[in-house]
Amino acid sequence: MTVKVEKIEGGIPHTTIMIAGLVASVILLYLTYANIAVGTEYFAFFGGLATVAALIWGSHTIKVLCSYGIGTGVPSAGMIAFGSGVIAMLFATKYGIAAPIVAIVLAAIIGAIIGFVANNVLNMRIPVMIQSLTEMAIIGAVILMGYAAMMTGSFELTSLITGKVSILGLSLPSYQASFIGGGLIAVVFMLGAIAIQHPFNACLGPSWTQDRMLMLAAECGFLSMITAAVMSMAIVSMGAALVSLLVAIIGWYYTYTKYIELSYRDAASWVDSKPIPETEGQ
Amino acid sequence: MESIVFGIGITALAGALATVAGAAENTESDIGSQGDPNSQVQLAPQMGYLHRIFNKAIAGEPPAWGLWIALGAGIAWAFMAMQINPILAIVLGAALATFVQGVYATTAYLGRIASLAKFGQPVFIDILKSMTTVTMAHAFVAIFAAVTVCHLMNAALGHPFPLPLLGLVWGIALGAAGSATGNPFYGKERQYQNQKYGAGVPIAASGNIVRYAEAGERNSLDNGWFSARLGGPASGVCFGLIVFLELWRTVLFEQIGAGWGAIIIGIIIILVFTVIDRYIEVWARKNFGAYVKPTEEAS
Amino acid sequence: MSAIAAKPAAGAAMDMTSTLIGIIILLILIAATYFVAGSGLAFMALIGVIVGGILIGFGVHFVPVGGAPAAMGQAPGIATGVAMLAAGAGLAGLFGGAWAAELGLVVATITGAIGGGLLMAVTCMFVNFIYVFGMGIPSASGKVDKDPITGDTQKEFKSQGTEGHGLPFVSYVGGVIGGIFGGGGGTLIYLMLLDLYKVELPGMMNALPGQVLPIAITLAGIFAIGIFLVNAVLAAYNITGTIEGPHDPKFKRFPRAIVACAIASALCGMVAIMIVAV
């Protein structure tokens, strides 16, 4: 019933990317738990790396979903992912060390029901709809949890809702200066929602290549991580925030130059201050 | 009484800043061909019309601006939480958000053009260098003004939402108002300057965008200049009016009748705009007249 | 926005079996909340969230959005994405409603609704302003011959080779109504969750109500935004991206969007409530 507009040719199959993304992001999320085990905040940057892994997976899921004309723009897919993901993620943070697993299971349930609603009740009849929206909800929840872990040092609800204010060198606990109380969750919501849809939105076209899009997804992830590291300075210790910032800048620089190289490889030509080339079509 | 005078002053300031933000937002997005007119910039090379227009397909305007403003507000919030002066914090937040916007702009251009390799569209590095900086400058103005509006709402007028949440709300509203008002002016009037004035672009002409300027080849800076003539200011007034009227009706009339005062004033404002809209529509029908038997013009 | 031009050929009919399954899921969700949380504040919050979600989903169908063709004057409506335009209006309404939260549920919800309507009224007026004074194009609908409200004929004002352009009066009214529904729905979700969190959070966190107020406000706010976006995108999927307003034939598809939005809101609302109720 639906026309498939673009084919996925070659490259890594989607299932491989999905499993790799899921496993990598869960392991990286759990590595932030080392903070609690050791009693520091320096391992917070693993949360940021988890978001990068999940974003790479997510950009490919968007690619799979949006190769079918879904009738509205690519960004809306990112919005529905995070709209359903944020709810699952915040609920899961109540469960302490089990939080990432609870988030994934709950997000899968929410995503599957929303996918069923979109596909069957709204009669969209897109073969990958249910699977894609399930994946998107999981990705949304994992990314938000990754940012939460990176910016607060932990993925537990208590650390998300308490922060500290230092007035004249005195450190006081405060609910207002926290990840949730300060509304930083709204920022990471948008950071993730744009970063997840941008790679496919920017790379779509007849000469789409998979490695270039995935490299861009990693670049978006590290770029978002830079800003998240800056914001985390208000919540975690300055040293931990600087470690995150350093990791993010190195990762961003590497992926950004790589992405430019790949674009150079794929572009028809690469010119500076030249007129429009003559073609037979004129 | 004093608090009401103070509130009115803040409301006027917020409205003025919102106007600046709206105007800068639309000019920025038109220089980058962001939003719906982007589809034509994307389509043109596929129809054989190679061009030197910037193709900044980051996302639609509302989500993209939702991010820029929320990000600027979030970073400003973080710096304020670290006891940094609000003005400096907002400037730093806007600067970092502008950096993110600039990076997204370059990756969007490179990505879209590289994916058009099949049609021979080259990547113009000079476009990337000159246009990105100009869009970043406009973006900085818009982000700074909009984050300041949000800070005024939160700190001076006492809105309960924290700054980043206000940034998300008003960023999406800014993008929605700016794209709704500014897109047709850029999309039809500038991209299709070669088509008949006073009529929609025939669907058959899609992709045949204007690629040559008064002298030389048109680039997106020429489009920014054009948008700044009407589309930008109109978007600015649109967003400014939204912010101003929303704050004004609350600050002045919320105390009357336990909140019903603001509701009644809101309804009156909506009715006034309805009358203006109807007047414009009838005026156009009367003065422009119908397209009686349009001439068979090749498009 | 998307360069993908092909539209899905989603049928206009309702799939009765799926709809029935959907309604059963909805009832299970409501019943589950009732058994877990009882008939108190939490259950009322769930009902409020579902009503809010339905208002949002229904409201999106009124908003005249033409997408990319509208930017070229090829199709009537506002030249942007429907989900995000509705979100702009709804969140502006949420802003007003949240501000008036202490004035009571009814006043705050109506304030939010008017806030959304106000944004759409100003925006739609400026769309016509730009079309008429900037581009010299009168409004014309492509879907109907006569404006159902004013009775103006549309066909002869449609320029050659297009499906119409601008916002005819009925689309303008549709836009304002859509903004009102969106703003009211978003505010209702926010207020119901806020009331619940204000009561439950202090006990859960062993803190004073005044201390947890920022947490309650942000949690309710971000959930309201999340549920809003889910419903707006689902409604946008239902109309496959573009619609002219209440006179568009696609408007008749709204019943299935109401079922869909009710299920999605019930699901998200239940999880949002369980955060404090379990």
The domain spans of chain B are 2-253, 258-287
What is the per-residue DSSP string for chain C? --S--PPP---SS--HHHHHHHHHHHHHHHHHHHHHHTTSHHHHHHHHHHHHHHHHHHHHTTS-B-HHHHHTTSSSSBSS-HHHHHHHHHHHHHHHHHHTGGG-HHHHHHHHHHHHHHHHHHHHHHHHHIIIIIT----B-SS-SB-TTT--B-GGGSPTTSS-BS--HHHHHHHHHHHHHHHHHHHHHHHHHHHHHHHHHHHHHT--HHHHHHHHHHHHHHHHHHHHHHHHHHHHHHTTT-B-STTSGGGGGHHHHHHHHHHHHHHHHHHHHHHHH-
Q: Does the pLDDT of residue C28 top 80, yes or no?
A: yes
| C-alpha distance from residue B22 to each of B119, B164, B232 (Å) | 36, 19, 7
Report the range of poorest mean pLDDT among A70-74, C43-47, C127-131.
Answer: A70-74
What pLDDT score was predicted for residue A167?
64
**Distance, in angstroms, between A245 CA and closest chain B CA?**
13
Q: What is the ipTM metric for this complex? A: 0.91
List the single residue in C18, C229, C260 with the smallest CB-CB distance to A79: C229
Contact C230 A80 (CB under 8 A): yes
| pTM summary value | 0.92
**Distance, in angstroms, between A186 CA and closest chain C CA?**
7
Q: What is the pLDDT of residues B37-96, one digit of tens each?
A: 888 888 898 888 889 999 888 888 889 999 999 999 999 999 998 889 999 999 999 999
List the single residue in B52, B67, B81 with the smallest CB-CB distance to A191: B67
pLDDT band at residue B299, thresholds of 50, 70 and 90? Answer: very low
What pLDDT score was predicted for residue B213?
86
- % of chain B residues with pLDDT over 90: 52
* A residues 62..91 contacting C (CB < 8 A): 66, 68-77, 79-80, 82-84, 86-88, 90-91
Task: Say which residue, C207 or B190, is predicted with more confidence.
Answer: B190
What is the per-residue DSSP string for chain B? -HHHHHHHHHHHHHHHHHHHHHHHHHHHHHHTT-STTHHHHHHHHHTT---------SS-HHHHHHHHHHHHHHHHHHHHHTT--HHHHHHHHHHHHHHHHHHHHHHHHHHHHHTTGGGTPPEEHHHHHHHHHHHHHHHHHHHHHHHHHHHIIIIIS--SS-HHHHHHHHHHHHHHHHHHHHHHIIIIIITTTTSPTTSPPPGGGTT----B-SSSB--HHHHHHHHTTTHHHHHHHHHHHHHHHHHHHHHHHTTGGGGHHHHHHHHHHHHHHHHHHHHHHHHHHHHH----S------
Contact B284 C138 (CB under 8 A): yes
Given a contact cutoff of 8 angstroms between Cβ atoms, the answer to whether C129 and B185 are in contact is no
**Helices and strands in chain A: count of H runs, count of E runs:** 10, 3
Q: What is the pLDDT of residues C4-23, one digit of tens each?
A: 333 444 455 677 888 888 88
pLDDT band at residue C33, thresholds of 50, 70 and 90? Answer: confident
What pLDDT score was predicted for residue C11?
54
List the single residue in B49, B115, B122 with the smallest CB-CB distance to A271: B122
What pLDDT score was predicted for residue B164?
93
* A residues 119..158 contacting B (CB < 8 A): none
What pLDDT score was predicted for residue A9?
55
What pLDDT score was predicted for residue A276?
86
Report the C-alpha gap between C160 and A130 in whole angstroms: 41
Q: Does the pLDDT of residue B205 top 90, yes or no?
A: no
* A183/C contact by beta carbon, under 8 A: yes
Report the range of poorest mean pLDDT among A53-62, B167-176, B207-216.
Answer: B207-216
Q: For chain A, which ranges sit under pLDDT 50?
A: 1-7, 281-282
Q: Does the pLDDT of residue B174 top 50, yes or no?
A: yes
- The dihedral over CA atoms of B21, B23, B29, B35, expressed in degrees to the nearest 10, equals 100
List the single residue in A84, A91, A126 with the smallest CB-CB distance to C230: A84
What pLDDT score was predicted for residue A168?
62
**Distance, in angstroms, between B223 CA and closest chain C CA?**
15
Report the C-alpha gap between A60 and A210 in whole angstroms: 8
What pLDDT score was predicted for residue C86?
85
How large is the angle between the packed helices A45-66 and A238-266, nearest 10 degrees? 30
- Write out the residue range of the structural domain in which residue A37 sits: 14-156+178-265
What pLDDT score was predicted for residue B153?
92
Q: What is the pLDDT of residues A261-273, one digit of tens each?
A: 999 999 888 988 8
* A259/B contact by beta carbon, under 8 A: yes
pLDDT average, residue stretch B104-124: 91
Given a contact cutoff of 8 angstroms between Cβ atoms, the answer to whether C76 and C165 are in contact is yes
Sort out which chain B residues have CB atoms less than 8 A from A190's CB and list them: 63, 66-67, 70-71, 168, 171
What pLDDT score was predicted for residue A71?
65
Contact C221 B250 (CB under 8 A): no
Task: Say which residue, C78 or C204, is predicted with more confidence.
Answer: C78
Residue A277 placed within a domain: no
Report the C-alpha gap between B209 and B40 in whole angstroms: 7
- % of chain B residues with pLDDT over 70: 97
Report the C-alpha gap between C40 and C61 in whole angstroms: 33
Sort out which chain B residues have CB atoms less than 8 A from C130's CB and list them: 181-182, 184-185, 230-231, 234
Q: Which residue has the tokens 């601006």?
A: B65
Q: Which residue has the tokens 């509304």?
A: A183
**Distance, in angstroms, between C5 CA and closest chain A CA?**
7
| C-alpha distance from residue C226 to each of B65, B117, C44, C59, C239 (Å) | 17, 38, 19, 17, 20
The domain spans of chain C are 46-277
Q: What is the pLDDT of residues A116-161, one digit of tens each?
A: 888 888 877 888 888 999 999 999 999 999 999 998 888 888 788 8
Sort out which chain B residues have CB atoms less than 8 A from C176's CB and list them: 270, 274
Question: One-letter amino acid identity for B218?
Answer: R
Sort out which chain A residues have CB atoms less than 8 A from B113's CB and list them: 263, 267
Q: Does the pLDDT of residue C125 top 90, yes or no?
A: yes
> Which is it for the CA torsion B222, B227, B229, B233, positive or negative?
negative
Contact A266 B83 (CB under 8 A): no
**Distance, in angstroms, between B142 CA and closest chain C CA?**
17
Q: Does the pLDDT of residue C2 top 50, yes or no?
A: no
Q: Which residues pair with C146 in a beta bridge?
A: C153
Sort out which chain C residues have CB atoms less than 8 A from B59's CB and list them: 1
pLDDT band at residue B198, thresholds of 50, 70 and 90? Answer: confident
Contact C91 B172 (CB under 8 A): yes
What pLDDT score was predicted for residue B244?
94
CB pairs under 8 A between B and C: 304
Residue A161 placed within a domain: no
pLDDT average, residue stretch B138-146: 95
Q: Does the pLDDT of residue C185 top 90, yes or no?
A: yes
Given a contact cutoff of 8 angstroms between Cβ atoms, the answer to whether A252 and A223 are in contact is yes
What pLDDT score was predicted for residue A118?
86
Domains of chain A: total = 1
What pLDDT score was predicted for residue B1?
62
Contact B81 A163 (CB under 8 A): yes
Identify the residue among C4, C7, C84, C187 best suited for mutation to test binding to B, counting B beta carbons within 10 A and taking the highest. Answer: C84
Q: What is the mean pLDDT of chain B?
A: 89
**Distance, in angstroms, between B289 CA and closest chain A CA?**
34
